[in-house]
Structure 1
Amino acid sequence: MDCGVTDEGCAALASALRSNPSHLRELDLSENKLGASAVNLLSDLLKDPRCKLKTLRLSKCGVTDEGCAALASALRSNPSHLRELDLSFNKLGASGVNLLSDLLKDPRCKLEKLWLMDCGVTDEGCAALASALRSNPSHLRHLILSLNNLRDSDVKLLSDLKDDPHYKLETLNF
């Protein structure tokens, strides 16, 4: 975290992890200047069925819709290992949030914690997340949406799910 890792350093790290992907369980690259190529390399790593990464933190890394698309695609192809994903303080936009929502609909997805603080989540994204949780209620337990510009009606969509015992959502922050 915050250690000056750039695309070049991320390429070296991804290369090392590709040769031995089964040991690393947690990776925190938050607050580093990662570009699209670095996020793509990490996404390629996540596609590897031998990858056992449980936690990935990319807060304040410059992840955009494009990077979010690569991550979502990787997690759709190998959805069962990652449990925690932190994309806070990135410019994901509506399409990035929709891609993550589509991922959450997959019953093979085991994501339990998702941080999307200050990611540009809108009413559309909130509705997509609520829809995803309704279609696959069994895994996501913590959803952090603080510092997004959400309306009370958006918050209610998700709050209703948190209060319903059929859903596993325990923590919901706006």
Structure 2
Amino acid sequence: RLNSCDLTEKSCDIVASALQSSNSPLRDLDLSYNNLGDSGVELLCAGLMSPNCKLQRLGLNNCELTQKCCNIVASALQSSNSPLRDLDLSYNNLGDSGVELLCAGLSPNCKLQRLGLNSCNLTEKSCDIVASALQSSNSPLRDLDLSYNNLGDSGVELLCAGLMSPNCKLQKLGHGKMDWTLCCKRGKDMHLKRL
């Protein structure tokens, strides 16, 4: 764990080199609460795309990230080399445009099963994007955290459409204090085990 260690973008190049090493046994890396920025995550993604990378879980909570890093993260997720299964981007200002870029990374090669987007300044627009991704047969997501975003009732309605798709594999949805009453009444076909 390297969370809250005053790390910056410079540290990311070193970490990426370690991830690319065939000797690295690293499976779980928490870099949360460091000022890595978008350029730091871009450096990290080079390591994630290496055929030697074995990293399965990456924590990037509150790392001063914006939508600018989401395109390169999506590319890393699409890489057939990336073993990443758990990515937490919570408490970063990704916005709806960032989520749109991330969801493009949920391709057939993507192995990501858990995605944390708690407090990422998302609105109902993100719900439409996420719902489309959940309806895709390519989406491997099993666990999604959308807590403490301004999704609104209309956003919940949009998400419900994705949750009721036969292709949706999601089993757990973190939602904070959103009202799911209407969705749950209609959602006999949902696969969710935990809401």
Q: TM-score scaled to structure 2, two decimals?
A: 0.80
Partner of 1:93: 95
Partner of 2:193: none
Q: How many residues align?
A: 173
**Long gaps (5+) in structure 1:** none
Q: Tell me how far apart the structure 2 counterparts of residues 19 and 124 of structure 1 sit (CA, whole Å).
A: 40
8 Å CA contact 1:81–1:110 kept in 2: the answer is yes
CA shift, 1:43, in A, is 0.8
**Long gaps (5+) in structure 2:** 176-195
8 Å CA contact 2:76–2:82 kept in 1: the answer is no
Which segments of structure 1 move beyond 4 Å, counting only runs of 4 or more? 163-166
CA shift, 1:74, in A, is 1.8
Partner of 1:29: 31
**Amino acid of the structure 2 residue aligned with 1:110:** K
**Amino acid of the structure 2 residue aligned with 1:122:** T
Change (3 A) 1:42 1:7: same
Counterpart secondary structure, 1:143: strand
Q: Residue by residue, what CA displacement relative to the aligned partner does 1:147-166 show, whole Å, maximum 9, x if unpaired?
A: 11011121133245445665
CA shift, 1:138, in A, is 5.7
8 Å CA contact 2:74–2:103 kept in 1: the answer is no
Change (3 A) 1:74 1:166: closer
Counterpart secondary structure, 2:144: strand
Change (3 A) 1:21 1:156: farther
Q: Tell me how far apart the structure 2 counterparts of residues 20 and 84 of structure 1 sit (CA, whole Å).
A: 21
Higher helix share: 1
Residues 152-171 of structure 1 correspond to what in structure 2 (within 5 A)?
A: 152-162=153-163, 167-171=168-172
